[in-house]
């Protein structure tokens, strides 16, 4: 299973004072997520390049890139945020991106899955490659030709996911440890 970290906390805190204005809100074309990262920025890019590209796309960071010593054993040693995006780094290389849980960013997978879409749409787009799990409060996974994309779901854990359950986050790469998830 892929590593998960303080995602909801980090992203929510990043959004709290973001102002939400800037390049992303001015752009009508969504950021396209694949198993490699986003169209404009692939996993493995240097921290400096990642920061430059994300600032061009989304404006100034809402949370500067800071060391995360508690996550070092999880393959992440720093994290930064831009509106509803958390970018994860290890040894000054981009290792993961996570979008959400808010809809402040226009973001979608290559196949067209967007934040807030119901999982019935995900099943229509990805068929048997789309799977869900009740772990970590509800998660989803899809294997693509370029790698795995996943995220959290918004559902009542007692009932499990239904076709109306929503895509809460979209993530690619390493975004922390499962044991550190809320």
**Which tens digits make up the pLDDT trace of 41-83?**
999 999 999 999 999 999 999 999 999 888 877 889 999 999 8
When pLDDT is cut at 50, 70 and 90, the band that residue 29 belongs to is confident
Spatial distance between the Cα atoms of 99 and 86, rounded to a whole number of angstroms: 7
C-alpha radius of gyration, the chain, whole number: 15
pTM: predicted TM-score of the whole model, two decimal places: 0.81
When pLDDT is cut at 50, 70 and 90, the band that residue 103 belongs to is low
For the chain, the structural domain boundaries read 7-174
The mean pLDDT value for 21-26 works out to 42
181 pLDDT above the threshold of 50: no
Handedness of CA 24, 4, 36, 116 (dihedral sign): negative
Asked whether 7 and 153 are in contact (CB, 8 A), the reply is no
**CA dist 93 to 51, 79, 148, Å?**
11, 11, 19
CA 105 to chain centroid, in Å, comes to 11
Nearest to 34 by CA among 108, 88, 102: 108
**CA dist 176 to 7, 35, 97, 179, Å?**
8, 17, 11, 9
182 pLDDT above the threshold of 90: no
- Give the pair of three-digit tokens for residue 182: 């809320």
12 pLDDT above the threshold of 80: no
CA 26 to chain centroid, in Å, comes to 21
Mean pLDDT of the chain: 82
Domain boundaries 7-174, corresponding CATH code = 2.60.460
């Amino acid at each position: 299973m892929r590593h998960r970290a303080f995602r909801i906390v980090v992203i929510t805190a990043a959004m709290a004072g973001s102002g939400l204005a800037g390049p992303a809100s001015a752009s009508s074309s969504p950021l396209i997520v694949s198993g490699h990262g986003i169209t404009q920025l692939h996993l493995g890019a240097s921290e400096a390049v990642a920061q430059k590209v994300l600032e061009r796309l989304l404006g100034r960071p809402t949370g500067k890139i800071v060391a995360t010593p508690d996550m070092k054993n999880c393959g992440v040693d720093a994290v930064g945020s831009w509106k509803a995006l958390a970018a994860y780094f290890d040894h000054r290389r981009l290792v993961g991106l996570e979008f959400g849980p808010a809809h402040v960013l226009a973001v979608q997978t290559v196949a067209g899955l967007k934040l807030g879409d119901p999982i019935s749409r995900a099943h229509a787009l990805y068929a048997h490659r789309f799977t869900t799990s009740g772990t970590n409060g509800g998660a989803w996974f899809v294997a693509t030709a370029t790698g795995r994309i996943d995220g959290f779901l918004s559902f009542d854990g007692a009932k499990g996911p239904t076709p109306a359950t929503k895509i809460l986050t979209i993530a690619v790469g390493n975004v922390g440890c499962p044991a550190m998830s809320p």
